[in-house]
Structure 1
Amino acid sequence: MAAPRRGPSAIGPSPRCRSRFGTLRGARPLLERWANVSDAARGCAMRTDSIGHWLKSERETRRLSIEEVASTTRIPRKTLESLEEDRFEDLPSGVFVRGFIKAYATVVEMDADEVLARFDSERPQALPPAPLATVQRRRGYGALVLAITTFALFAIIVATFSLVRRAPAQDDPIELSSALPCLVEAAKAERSYYGPSTTVTPIESSLC
């Protein structure tokens, strides 16, 4: 007599399979916890990295070359290298650096506002605002320099005007003194022509 066949409801996993399933079911929370820990560790590593290293890591993750970033952002490669190496002293002022960071973050699909906020928190303004006394002192120096410059220009204008007015008065004596020898020679020639008995007193008096 043939043995009765078991229906589908009677078929189930063997005890060994049930133990394996139980082990996997129990290991699932551990795997999820490990994944959460890994994400937290990556976030901590990202926060501890510098701005330049953070940007470079995101670029390499997306398999972008620095030439591609330079071509897209139209920023020179040398500037991007200085940015990735945190050599901010080789870059222009803060306004330009913020523009470079924003363009770089946009290309590598990062949150530009978050990157800029972190940049501002890590690198405050290098030069604090000048005290009020210093500003007033600089303004005082500027007013003094302006007054001295104005006085010097006024003195130069007055001296030039005086020289221009004196120039015609000095020309007349010079012309007269240069003409006197010619008149004396003419008188001598006229005296020799008329002889020694002829006087040239009227000529000399007319010259005077």
Structure 2
Amino acid sequence: MNRFVVAFLALTVSYSAATLGIDTISAISTSGFQCLRSNNYAFYIGRVGATGRSTRPASNIKNAHSGALEWNSNVDAYLFPCHSSCCGSAKQQVSDSVNAFRNGGAKCGTLWLDVEIYNWGSNLATNQQFILDMVSQCKSMGVTVGIYTNNNNNWQNVVGIDWAGVSSYPIWWANYNGVANFNNFKPFGGWSKPAIHQYSGDVKGPCSVGNVDMNWYP
């Protein structure tokens, strides 16, 4: 997902009445979040990144809280892990990222661990352990955990479609079908239902927030 999430009523999409939200890596001011809230966007998920990656771990999340997304449950973060030799272990990347946004005075509800095919190795068991190590570090730091992925493109290739090692945590389901519901979700990895659907990506956001991904939950 190399980016963060947003959703828009201005787009012509099919959705059932529920909650729309955003993720984007673009900088958003407090007034930008206020504008989004006034346009019926109710949650934000911002990338906190990992070692060697450019992020806005504190500013966007703090601005989201100040801009009328005032509860932790409405402001989350996601970690896009790095797998190059300079990036450190799974646990170190979680520790660095969480400490960065905490030290910057930011707070979030859930930290979503991004599992996409980008830059992961071919050994499924090694990849599974990397995810388990990230989850373990989150738990040791008192961080609520979620998983961002989809079935065929990502989960299947990274850890195997039937691996259910983290199925007790909620899934943020990436499927760009342009429909804000869960109707096309097919169970995998031990999940029977998503918590959030990322249903469109890289669209022009409202309130001058740049390119965003669009998200929905019931």
The structure where helix makes up a greater share of residues is: 1
Same fold at TM > 0.5: no
Q: Would you tell me which structure has more strand in proportion to its own residues?
A: 2
Which TM bucket (shorter chain)?
Answer: under 0.3
TM-score, normalised relative to structure 2: 0.22
- Bigger relative CO (Cα 8 Å, ≥ 6 apart): 2
